[in-house]
Structures are given as structure tokens and as C-alpha cells.
Structure 1
Amino acid sequence: MALTDEAIENIKAMIVAGELAPGSRLPKEDVLACQLGLSRSSLREAVRALTAMRILVTRQGDGTYVSSLEPHLLLETLSFAADVSQGRAALQLLQVRRLMEPAATALAVTALTPQDLEELGDILGRSRTAATVDEFVAHDIAFHLRIVEAVGNPVLSMLLRVLSTRTQRVRIVRGTRTQRSVERAHAEHEEILRALRARDAQLAASAATVHVAAVEHWLAGSLVDGDEPPADD
């Protein structure tokens, strides 16, 4: 194991063992390096890596602290995996999304307020008049995120963000190369909203399943045909 990797694992072990609690300040660099039996350069590399993972937070002029370690915060770093996913990797993410998003949509049925439902309708109205793929995807993300956020579980919200990022969605929508797919997405969004307004959890879950599955099936078919979506520009 490289010295930097060893330093990362040692600091993680200290956090897991409770020696470094969420929000606590790390010992001074020379003290911690001596404690871990590492060079200060290896320790600095480890701190940079753990900061990128949101495990540590560096405060200018004040030192380095353990972050809050809240799951949704740590999950943010995984969004890059969805951003760069293509082909079968993107399909696998969509398959997981299909398992989770319908359940989240069903849970939102009792949590969404009349004002929330009105806002969802407004989002779909703006989506209908989107002039570009990027604009359509922005409204698409806002629609789905508004639904899942009503559940009140930030971990669930972040997981679904990770499973389908803006970059991934833009790439897939562009890859369909047809206005028909966008029109179908509009219709599927309306079905989801109709079920939410009816407070029908089962129907809402079914509508969400159809919506995500349609994208999944198209992507699976494109892989069979050897016509994978192009990378985002």
C-alpha cells in the first residue's frame, strides 16, 4: 500500500474509532504525522484526498476539521461516476434508479402540499416551452427533485441525484436524436403529476416506473445496436 493510501486509511480508522469526531479539528500536521508514523508530505496528500471526498474540511487560516460526515454530503462525490458513465455503466445506473425512484414517488404522495403540486405543474409548463435540450433537462431534473425532496430524506435525494446527473441526462436526451422522445417524456411527466394530484401512491409509482424504464429500454436497445449516446459537448 502506498504511503498516501496508508495515511488515508489511518485517518479514516481514527474517525471510525471515534478518535476524531465529526466537526473536530485535526491535530497539527507535525503531531499527526508523528502519531501515524508518516512523512508530512504523505499526510498532506492524504488530507487533500480526504477533503475531496468531503470527509475533511479545510478552513483557511484555521486548520483542517472532520466534516459533519452526513451521508448525503459524502455521496456528492459519487456524482462524477454518473457524469462520466456511458454504455453499460449508464444503463446500470438507470436500472438502480428504476428500483428507487418509483418508491420515492409513492412516498411523496402524502407529503406534497397543494402548493408543491402547483409548483410541479409550473415546472412542467416551463418544460413544454424549453427551447434547448439543456433547458428541457434542467426542468426535468427540477421536476423529479422536487418530488423526492418532499419525502424529507436527504440521503434518498442525493442518491437519486447521483444516479442521474444533469450531464448524463443531457447526453441521453441528445442521443435519442428525436423530438418524439421528448414529447413522450412530457406525457410521462404529466401522468406522474396526475397520479400525485390524485394522491394515488400505487399509480404514482407505476407512472414513475414507466418513465424511467422507457429511458432504460432505449439505452439498452442502443447498446445492442452499437449506437451508444455521444459524450456531452
Structure 2
Amino acid sequence: MEGRQGRSLLRQEVSEGIKRYILENKLRPGDPLPTESELSATLGASRSSVREAVKTLDALDIVEVRHGHGTYVGRLSLSALVEGLTFRGLLSRDDDFKVMSDLVDVRELFERGMAERILTSLDSDHLRTLYRIVDDMERSGNADGTGFVEADRAFHALLVEPLGNELIGQLSLAFWDVYTIVVPHLSVFTSKDEAETVANHRRIVDTARAGDVDAFTLAIAEHYAPVRRRVQEARAAAPAT
């Protein structure tokens, strides 16, 4: 046990050393890192420890291993967060509902909290595209569930895209990734629900076009309220485990 704990601690220390190296050398995503042997010498660690640390950082997208080419600074995405939340949600039925409820809260707070900035950043081209996405949702809702989900995802991505904040965009998509993965396991949404979702999305664009922050914030709340209600109803109807 002590041996395993020691190796884990060493791997963590080397991982922190690699992250410090990236920061101290002001490396950017896509920049190459030194070779394994060079990192070993720089950090004063064995090559096997460096190799294990790189694997850990690769899984977190902090670095990217390109086999045959070397190791590079990663894009620092939130894929690890997505995978962790998704696994938690799929591990048990009760956690399905818990994750869904949490994500609804986070996504609503996320979009309502940035309402003024979103409305300021959306131009006429963005608004036209948002309306077109809502039309796509309406057309594909009954015929193609996949198309509906893709349009819904595109809508929320475009809503925050004009902000030009990469982290905000990643957070939005990360929440949506988990949301779309967990939803099918709930067996909650019907054609009527889809029609209501389309209407709520159209109301969001209408209020954004009007530049009314209060109405936009209310439209966001009205969009998520029925989602939250359906999750609660599904949780209450689920058989006890």
C-alpha cells in the first residue's frame, strides 16, 4: 500500500512540475514540450515518473501526446469534467436525476447571469441564425430526435459564442454534453415537451432581439422551469432502488 501511495504522490509531484514548466516558460496551446529525457533531467525525476505524469496530464487535456511526434501543450478543454459528470450520472438511476437537476440549475444560472453581456454581443446575423436554428428544431422534432438535440445544442452554443470567451464556450458545451448524454436514460421528454421547448427557444430569441434584459432573463427561466419539473416528476415516478 505504501509503495502505491508513494508512486501516486511522486506522479502528482512530477505532474505539478510539468505544469510549472509550462507556466514559467509561457507556453501556449500547441507549443511543443521537451522530450521525456529532457523533462526528466529538468525535473530531477525518473523517465518512468515523467511518462506516468504525462499520461495523467494527457487525460486532463493539459498536454497532448502525438505519437511519433512528441508531447505538446493541450487545449485545456473540459473533457475530463464532462466524462466525470457523465460517469456519475450513468452509475445509478438516482444519480441520473441528481446530475440532471444539478445541470439544469447550473445552465440556467450560467445563461441568466450573463444575460446583459449576451444581449450586448448578439448582432443581427447571430439573431437570424438563432431563429433559423429554432426553425430547424421545429422541423426535426418529431421526425428526427438526433436532429432536434443537435439543433438545441447549436442554439445554446451560439447564444454565448459572440462573447468571445473560450472558457465560457467550453463550459456551455461541457454542460450540454453531459445533459444530452444523461437525458435519454431518463425517458422523460415527449413530442409535446419538444414543442414547448421550441416555443421557449423562440421566446428567448424574441426577447434578445428586443434588447430587453429582464424579459430575456425571464424567458431563460421559463425555458428551464418545465425541464426541471419533468426531471422532478420522473424522479418521483422512478421505482425505489
TM-score, structure 2 as length reference: 0.79
What letter corresponds to residue 172 of structure 1 in structure 2?
V
Matched, 1:150 2:162: yes
What is the CA distance between 1:39 and its match in structure 2? Answer: 4.0
RMSD: 2.6
What is the CA distance between 1:207 and its match in structure 2? Answer: 0.6
Partner residue of 1:169 out of 170, 173, 180: 180
Q: Within 5 Å, give how 1:58-73 maps onto structure 2.
A: 58-67=65-74, 73=76
Counterparts in 2 of 1:4 and 1:120: CA distance versus 1, 3 Å = same
Q: How many residues align?
A: 223
Which shifted more, 74-83 or 129-138? 74-83
1:9 matched residue in structure 2: 13
Counterpart-to-counterpart distance in 2, 1:74 and 1:171: 20
SS at structure 1 position matched to 2:187? helix
**Percent identity of equivalent pairs:** 27
Counterpart-to-counterpart distance in 2, 1:94 and 1:177: 15
1:44 matched residue in structure 2: 51
Structure 1, unpaired ranges of 5+: 229-233
1:33 matched residue in structure 2: 40
Counterpart-to-counterpart distance in 1, 2:234 and 2:17: 44
Counterpart-to-counterpart distance in 2, 1:39 and 1:13: 13
SS at structure 2 position matched to 1:129? helix
Counterparts in 2 of 1:227 and 1:144: CA distance versus 1, 3 Å = farther
SS at structure 2 position matched to 1:64? strand
Matched, 1:203 2:215: yes
Runs of 4 or more, structure 1, over 3 Å off, are 16-21, 23-28, 30-39, 59-62, 65-68, 81-84
Partner residue of 2:224 out of 212, 220, 224: 212
Counterpart-to-counterpart distance in 2, 1:121 and 1:76: 29
Contact between 2:127 and 2:209, CA under 8 Å: does it hold in 1?
Answer: yes
Matched, 1:137 2:144: no
Counterparts in 2 of 1:9 and 1:201: CA distance versus 1, 3 Å = farther
What is the CA distance between 1:177 and its match in structure 2? Answer: 4.4
1:186 matched residue in structure 2: 198
SS at structure 1 position matched to 2:53? helix
Which shifted more, 144-153 or 18-27? 18-27
Counterpart-to-counterpart distance in 2, 1:177 and 1:205: 24
Counterpart-to-counterpart distance in 1, 2:64 and 2:212: 43
Question: Structure 1, residues 120-173: CA drift from partner, whole Å, max 9, x if none?
Answer: 1111111111022111010011111111112222211211211221x6326426
Q: Which has the higher helix share?
A: 2
Partner residue of 2:79 out of 76, 81, 87: 76
What is the CA distance between 1:29 and its match in structure 2? Answer: 2.4
Matched, 1:111 2:121: yes
Counterpart-to-counterpart distance in 2, 1:4 and 1:20: 26
Contact between 1:55 and 1:66, CA under 8 Å: does it hold in 2?
Answer: yes
What letter corresponds to residue 119 of structure 1 in structure 2?
T
2:92 matched residue in structure 1: none
Structure 2, unpaired ranges of 5+: 90-95
Partner residue of 1:22 out of 27, 35, 40: 27
1:231 matched residue in structure 2: none
Counterpart-to-counterpart distance in 2, 1:27 and 1:122: 47
Contact between 2:78 and 2:170, CA under 8 Å: does it hold in 1?
Answer: yes
TM-score, structure 1 as length reference: 0.82
